[in-house]
Amino acid sequence: MDSIPHAQSDELMTKHRLRNVALVVLPLGLFPSWLGIILGVTIWLTLHKVVPHLQELEHRKHTAVSAADLVSVVECLCLCLSAGLTIPESFAYTGKSQSSRAHQQLLQVVTLHELGQDLPTALAELERLDSKWLTASRILSASIYSGAPALEALDALLNYLREEAHSEVTTRIRAVAVKCVLPLGLCFLPAFILLTVVPLIAQYISQLHW
């Protein structure tokens, strides 16, 4: 049963590689000169360097923890700790309170701890999953090692995360405005070139004395 998806994956990978080779070789066939070599190298660099990098950035964008979700997590942790719960109990309650990516990642820490891993090591996994966990993870790990209360530091972190969440929302709003204007510009630009630039060029050419 598992060999069928594996075979299909190998087939798709082979087709993908053959397509890339064809795209690289095609310019050499169309332009059998230095131009074809330059175009082939450019396409190869784009397919093997630029495209994977853009795909990785897009993957990180979709799997990253949002600032708003992190605010919700830290708020719940602060409430739990102020109510007298221990850090593991606060993790368990907070992780089950919502179903966002940040809460699910916190539940992974709870699972690792229940399997016998110490909390600081489990928290280090959060840092590996997303760098936005770095400060909260360091605060909680320091509290576990030293026994000092983490509530005050988490409260200060919460204020910072709220500002970051507000900035994130503002950035998204500005991005939407730019994306809305772009199609409008693409519609008007060809008309502007045809009605303004082309007549000026035609008039200039007609005044030239051949």
**Is residue 32 predicted with pLDDT exceeding 70?**
no
CA distance 129 to 148: 26
Residue 167 pLDDT class (50, 70, 90 cuts): confident
Domain limits of the chain?
A: 3-63, 67-166
What average pLDDT does the segment 114-138 reach? 87
CA distance 42 to 67: 38
Between 77 and 5, the more confident residue is 77
- Please return the burial class of 142, using the count of CB atoms within 10 Å of its CB with bins 0-12, 13-18 and 19+: middle
CA dihedral 131, 104, 55, 7 (to 10 degrees): 140
Residue 78: CB atoms within 10 Å: 19
> Do 127 and 134 contact (CB within 8 A), yes or no?
yes
What pLDDT, on a 0 to 100 scale, did the predictor assign at position 148?
Answer: 87
CA distance 92 to 40: 55
| Exposure on the CB side of residue 168, measured as CA atoms within 13 A | 15
**Is residue 67 predicted with pLDDT exceeding 50?**
yes
> Do 97 and 74 contact (CB within 8 A), yes or no?
no
**Is residue 3 predicted with pLDDT exceeding 50?**
no
Between 70 and 204, the more confident residue is 70
| Exposure on the CB side of residue 182, measured as CA atoms within 13 A | 6
Which string of b and e fits 24-47 if b means at least 16 CB within 10 Å? beebeeeeeeeebeebbeebeeeb
The percentage of residues in the chain with a pLDDT greater than 70, rounded to a whole number, is: 60
CA distance 35 to 44: 14
Fold of 67-166: Receptor-associated Protein (1.20.81)
What pLDDT, on a 0 to 100 scale, did the predictor assign at position 29?
Answer: 61
Residue 28 pLDDT class (50, 70, 90 cuts): low
